Amino acid sequence: MAYVHNFSAGPCVLPQAVFEEASQALLNFDNLGLSIIEISHRSPSFVAVMEEARSLVKELLEVPDGYTVLFLQGGASMGFLTVAYNMIRNQKKAAYVNTGAWAKKAAKEFSFVGELDIIASSEDKNYSYIPKNIVAGSDYDFLHITSNNTISGTQYKDFPTSDTPLVCDMSSDIFSRKINVADFDIIYAGAQKNMGPAGTAVYIVKESILGNSSIPIPTMLDLNTHYSKDSMFNTPPVFAIYASMLNLRWLKKNGGVGHIQNVNEKKATLLYNEIDNNPLFEGTTAIEDRSTMNATFLLKEAALTDTFNKMWQEANISGIKGHRSVGGYRASMYNALPIESVMELVNVMKELTEKHG
């Protein structure tokens, strides 16, 4: 079967080596004669998986002392309310930056527990840029941002700096570039964008914030519950965590976050150069805010849409149709997408112009 170039925005492309090892574990994990999805999550074999997954997060992101790593059920959508409960303090007020659909949904969830201020937004231009010079005053319990906006194709290149505790949803670009974890009180991310299968989310949490909420927290939303039990308070999403661990192993083996950041920048540069130089295409976002993970672009000649669609489909390219709110095309270039796939897309774009430009 021909290789498919998977540009899907999520669930994400993962390395073939991860699929191969995970498929074997579905049949016989750790030579137990049992599947990874039927063993006890309390067994030594899975406890070792959980410990390695958490350890790899700390190693790859250079997580400093005073932070804990948790793997929990649900995705970032569950995290929207989880961080709201765990970060609310005496002010009962939080600042949010609205840079896209997911940032807007995160803000909505905080409104259930406290007073919400949208202190900056790019909704006025259909989320095509990142607001700059963001400052949240001391009257807020925390500031919430979304690091990468999958639908609109924008990404923070520099994070806000202030004394206000910073919380970030990094679902679609975690492990894609180096970050300074110490700048954040909570980083959280659903697995299915750049880490593993859907079903789990990773939380990187400053330990000093735990147990300090000014309102009662439901047990399952209390990060202190899971911290006290090493992410094993209840049955965790075993397979999603196992596959995420394999993916993190792959990342470490292939040079870590610093190396993959260089690769990701090369992939993005290759595609954005074609978008900018090809007369049939144009980008949809501010150039300085373009996402390395999700490139969004339009075909200028609507009459060529069917032709272009047929060409990329015949080239075994999958998942590049844009979100309905933006239109056009979206090429998601997560860690495991090889640069050869980007080259194939660029070649199709060039061919279209050569024949019809």
Q: Report the SS3 class of residue 295.
A: strand
- H helix and E strand count, the chain: 9, 14
Q: Same structural domain for residues 207 and 115?
A: yes
Check if 102 is active-site.
yes
Number of domains composing the chain: 2
State how far the Cα of 109 lies from the Cα of 343, in Å rounded to an integer.
40
The answer to whether 74 and 59 have CB atoms below 8 angstroms apart is no
Q: Which residues of 198-218 are buried (b: 16+ CB within 10 A; e: fewer)?
A: bbbbbbbbbeebbeebeeebe
Per-residue pLDDT of 28-51, as tens digits, reads 999 999 999 999 999 999 999 999
Closest C-alpha to 124, from 152, 146, 148: 152
| Domain final residue, candidates 253, 276, 295 | 253
**Cβ neighbours, 10 Å, residue 349:** 23
Q: Which amino acid is at 310?
A: K
Catalytic residue among 102, 173, 250, 267: 102
Tokens 């949010």 correspond to 96
205 and 260 belong to one structural domain? no
Q: Is 289 marked active-site?
A: no
Q: Which pair of structure tokens corresponds to residue 121?
A: 């937004």
Residues 268 and 178 in one domain: no
* Single-letter residue type at 161: T
Which residue among 253, 279, 295 closes a domain? Answer: 253
pLDDT at 328 (0 to 100): 95
Residues 320 and 277 placed together within one structural domain of the fold: yes
212 and 291 co-located in one domain = no
The per-residue DSSP string of 41-67 comes to TTSHHHHHHHHHHHHHHHHHTTPPTTE
Q: Domain with 294 in it: what CATH number?
A: 3.90.1150.10
Residue of 169, 185, 222, 289 with catalytic role? 169
CATH code, 112: 3.40.640.10
Looking at residue 40, what is its pLDDT? 94
Give kind and range of the element (H or E) at residue 317. strand 317-318
The question of whether 206 is a catalytic residue gets the answer no
Which of 253, 273, 306 is at the close of a domain? Answer: 253
Collect the ranges in the chain with pLDDT lower than 50. Answer: none
Domain-located, residue 11: no
| Residue 289 sits in the same domain as residue 206 | no
Q: Catalytic: which of 141, 185, 193, 289?
A: 193
Q: Give the residue numbers spanning the domain of 296.
A: 256-356
